[in-house]
Structures are given as C-alpha cells and as structure tokens.
Structure 1
Amino acid sequence: MSLSSILSAEAIENAVKDCQAPDSFCYKKFFRLCGLTSKTPQEVKDVFRLLDEDNSGYIEEAELKFFLQRFVPGARTLTEAETKSIVSAADYDSDGRIGAEEFQTMVLSCS
C-alpha cells in the first residue's frame, strides 16, 4: 500500500507545494489539501501506518521531520517548530509522540 493508493497524487502534490517555504507548514491546511480529512477513519489509520516508518506504533518527532518526504520524495524537511506544533496538537497523552488514535483524532478534527 502507498499513500497514492489512498490519496490522489495531484492532491498530495498540491498540498506539498503549498508549504514549500520553511515554517509555512500548517497541518490543518495540509490535511485538507491532500484530501486526508475526507477519508474514513480506517483510511486515516492506514496513512498513519505508512507514516510510522519504524513501525513502532507511534510517530515520533524524528519521523515528523521527514513527514513531507513520506508524501513526496525530495520534499523539504519540517523545521523543529513545525514538528513541535504537530506533536503538541496531537499528543493528547503528553508522551512526546503521536499514536494512531491521536493521529486519527487530529486529522478528522481538521475537516
């Protein structure tokens, strides 16, 4: 499974282009532009599994740095401020990482 099997390649490209400049990434806008907010809870969890590069069941800050590259190879890395903003928005249990349920709640609250 790949991200483009869940999301439109065109929508992914548009979402990544929208945040090319450092510190321009807004997770709410990104999730809407790439179409993730209109997906089913199961599809959102499928995307989470693709983003969880080390298959730990969590997305940690180190993985978030390369978040855009998981959507489009060669995309820029996220800044430290951008990664921290995603973690603070989604990390409901304050363990410093994002679990599948937390990711799903964050994404679906952006619609």
Structure 2
Amino acid sequence: MTMTDLLKAEEIKNALEAFAAETFDHRKFFEMVGMRAMSAENVKKVFQVLDVDGSGFIEEEELKFVLKGFSQEGRDLTEAETKEFLKAADKDGDGKIGIDGEREKGENRR
C-alpha cells in the first residue's frame, strides 16, 4: 500500500511544498494532507506505511524520513524538527510513537 492509495496525491504535493523550506509543523502537515478527516482505520493504515520496519512504532530514525513516506520528493526532517515531532507525539516518553500518538494528531500537545 502506498500513501496515494490513502491520500490525494495533490494534497500530499501541496503539503510537501509548503514545508520544503520552512520549519515542519506536523499538525498543519497532517491537516493539509487530509488526515484530520480520516477514519481511525485509515489513519492506522497511514501509520503502517510510515512504520518502515514494521515494529508497530515509529522510532526517531524513521521519523526523520517521515516526509519521504508520503512521497519520494519529501525532504528529510532536520534533527531539531525530528526531536520536536517526537516530543509532541511520544505520549509515554519511550522514545517512539505508537498508533495512539498518531491518532491524537497533536490537538492538545505541542
């Protein structure tokens, strides 16, 4: 399964372009690609695409390449962006993101 099986290619392209040079904002990015309106089942499918090693978690090393999970044209996140994203989504402080952290979509976290 690929991202374009789950999300609209044009929305992915627009979101990637929006964050090509500026600081990555995961909440805004997920909104732009249409994830905020997705069912929990489809969010889980997106999570599984991003979980490259199939561990059930997105670890810091995978998170660095999260934009490439949406499209090969995506850039790598900087170390600071990666750490900020992990801090916002790692609900239990174990250094990785589980599906529950993705589903929350950062509405009450920073």
TM-score by length of 1: 0.91
User: Structure 1, unaligned stretches of length 5 or more?
Assistant: none
Aligned-residue CA RMSD in angstroms?
1.4
Cα deviation code 1:73-94 (max 9, x no counterpart): 0321000111111111111100
SS at match of 1:48: helix
Q: Does 2:3 correspond to 1:13?
A: no
Distance in 2 between the 1:48 and 1:84 partners? 18
Distance in 2, Cα, partners of 1:50 & 1:66: 12
SS of equivalent residue, structure 1 residue 75? coil
Question: 1:29 corresponds to which residue?
Answer: 28
AA in 1 matched with 2:28: K
Which of the pair has the greater relative contact order for Cα pairs under 8 Å at 6+ separation? 1
Q: Among the aligned pairs, what percent are the same residue?
A: 44
Moved over 6 A (4+): none
Report the alpha carbon displacement of residue 106 of structure 1 after superposing the two structures with TM. 2.3
SS in structure 1 opposite 2:28?
Answer: helix
Question: What is the count of residue pairs matched by the alignment?
Answer: 108
Amino acid at match of 1:68: L
Conserved? CA contact 1:65–1:77, under 8 Å: yes
What whole-Å deviation, never above 9, does each CA across 1:54-111 have from its counterpart, x for those lacking one?
000100110011111111103210001111111111111000000011111126x38x
Kept after mapping to 2: 8 A contact 1:49/1:55:
yes
1-structure distance, mates of 2:64, 2:56: 17
- Contact 1:36 1:44 (8 Å CA) reproduced: yes
Q: Name the counterpart of 1:102.
A: 101
Amino acid across the alignment from 2:89: A
